[in-house]
Amino acid sequence: MVEVRAPAKLYVHWPDDLRRESGTRDILLAAAKRQVPGVEDILVLENGETQTGQYVYLKFADKILRYTLEWV
């Protein structure tokens, strides 16, 4: 069994460094596909905010894993 000490992080850059409300899911999915092999889809919960950031769930063929979202 592998012990996970910290949640995996997904790093996302805003296109052209401009924050936008529309198209966020597309931006997140594109970033996930670039950074994490095998990602098929992404799920963002509206109230996924926590004190340390926001969580997203990445869907793979055989599992769903939670990642911490980091806007950089």
Residue 2 lies inside a defined structural domain of this protein: no
Per-residue pLDDT tens over the stretch 2-36: 444 556 888 888 666 666 655 678 888 999 999 99
Alpha-carbon distance of 42 to 66, in angstroms, equals 10
Residue 65 lies inside a defined structural domain of this protein: yes
- In total, how many domains does the chain have? 1
Residue 54, domain extent: 8-71
pLDDT score at 35:
93
Q: Is the pTM of this model over 0.85?
A: no
